[in-house]
Amino acid sequence: MRSEFSTRKLTGRKLNRNLGLGAAHALYRESGDWYHHLLRFPGVLLDRNGYILFHTRSQYESSRHLQHGKELHVPGGIASIPGYVYEETISGESR
Protein backbone atom coordinates (compact mmCIF):
# COMPACT_ATOMS: atom_id res chain seq x y z
CA MET A 1 0.00 0.00 0.00
CA ARG A 2 1.45 3.38 -0.98
CA SER A 3 1.23 6.23 1.46
CA GLU A 4 -0.80 9.26 0.48
CA PHE A 5 2.25 11.28 1.62
CA SER A 6 4.91 9.33 -0.28
CA THR A 7 4.80 11.34 -3.51
CA ARG A 8 5.76 14.67 -1.94
CA LYS A 9 8.38 15.96 0.45
CA LEU A 10 7.30 15.31 4.00
CA THR A 11 7.46 18.16 6.51
CA GLY A 12 6.14 18.51 10.01
CA ARG A 13 3.88 21.34 8.94
CA LYS A 14 2.25 19.30 6.15
CA LEU A 15 1.84 16.19 8.30
CA ASN A 16 0.40 18.22 11.19
CA ARG A 17 -2.18 19.72 8.87
CA ASN A 18 -2.99 16.51 6.94
CA LEU A 19 -3.30 14.36 10.07
CA GLY A 20 -5.33 17.02 11.88
CA LEU A 21 -3.04 17.05 14.93
CA GLY A 22 -3.57 20.72 15.78
CA ALA A 23 -0.02 21.30 17.02
CA ALA A 24 1.39 24.84 17.16
CA HIS A 25 4.84 23.47 16.16
CA ALA A 26 5.50 20.25 14.26
CA LEU A 27 8.84 18.73 13.29
CA TYR A 28 9.48 15.73 11.04
CA ARG A 29 12.57 13.56 10.87
CA GLU A 30 12.36 10.25 9.04
CA SER A 31 14.62 8.45 11.54
CA GLY A 32 12.93 9.96 14.60
CA ASP A 33 16.13 10.35 16.61
CA TRP A 34 17.26 13.96 16.07
CA TYR A 35 15.31 17.22 15.81
CA HIS A 36 15.56 20.95 16.27
CA HIS A 37 13.80 22.05 19.46
CA LEU A 38 10.07 22.52 19.71
CA LEU A 39 9.34 26.17 20.48
CA ARG A 40 5.53 26.38 20.55
CA PHE A 41 3.01 24.10 22.22
CA PRO A 42 1.24 21.85 21.79
CA GLY A 43 4.18 20.49 19.83
CA VAL A 44 4.59 17.27 17.91
CA LEU A 45 7.60 15.25 16.77
CA LEU A 46 6.93 12.99 13.79
CA ASP A 47 8.90 10.18 12.15
CA ARG A 48 8.19 7.90 9.19
CA ASN A 49 5.77 5.76 11.21
CA GLY A 50 3.99 8.07 13.64
CA TYR A 51 4.29 10.83 16.19
CA ILE A 52 4.53 11.88 19.82
CA LEU A 53 2.54 14.90 21.00
CA PHE A 54 3.65 17.17 23.83
CA HIS A 55 0.74 19.22 25.12
CA THR A 56 2.88 21.61 27.19
CA ARG A 57 6.43 22.95 27.31
CA SER A 58 6.78 21.42 30.78
CA GLN A 59 5.83 17.94 29.52
CA TYR A 60 8.39 18.29 26.69
CA GLU A 61 11.21 19.66 28.85
CA SER A 62 10.75 17.11 31.62
CA SER A 63 10.57 14.02 29.38
CA ARG A 64 13.30 11.59 30.42
CA HIS A 65 13.25 10.18 26.87
CA LEU A 66 14.64 13.38 25.34
CA GLN A 67 18.17 14.73 25.53
CA HIS A 68 18.04 18.53 25.29
CA GLY A 69 21.29 20.04 24.03
CA LYS A 70 22.11 22.33 21.15
CA GLU A 71 19.70 20.08 19.22
CA LEU A 72 17.24 17.48 20.48
CA HIS A 73 18.44 13.88 20.56
CA VAL A 74 16.03 10.98 21.12
CA PRO A 75 17.94 7.78 21.94
CA GLY A 76 15.97 4.88 20.47
CA GLY A 77 13.83 7.27 18.41
CA ILE A 78 10.45 8.74 19.24
CA ALA A 79 8.79 5.34 18.73
CA SER A 80 10.38 4.28 22.04
CA ILE A 81 8.52 7.00 23.98
CA PRO A 82 5.32 5.98 25.82
CA GLY A 83 2.40 7.69 24.10
CA TYR A 84 3.86 7.32 20.59
CA VAL A 85 1.07 6.98 18.04
CA TYR A 86 1.60 4.76 15.00
CA GLU A 87 0.12 6.44 11.90
CA GLU A 88 -0.16 4.10 8.93
CA THR A 89 -0.75 6.89 6.39
CA ILE A 90 2.76 8.35 6.86
CA SER A 91 4.74 5.32 5.74
CA GLY A 92 2.01 3.44 3.90
CA GLU A 93 2.87 0.26 5.78
CA SER A 94 0.31 -1.67 7.76
CA ARG A 95 1.05 -3.38 11.06
Per residue of the chain (95 residues), what is the pLDDT tens digit?
445 555 468 999 999 999 999 999 999 999 999 999 999 999 999 999 999 999 999 999 999 999 999 999 999 999 999 999 999 888 665 44
* pLDDT of the residue at 7: 45
* pLDDT of the residue at 90: 86
- Compute φ and ψ for 62, nearest 5 degrees: -95, 0
Distance of CA 37 to the CA centre of its chain: 12
CB 85 within 8 A of CB 50: yes
* pLDDT of the residue at 33: 98
* pLDDT of the residue at 2: 46
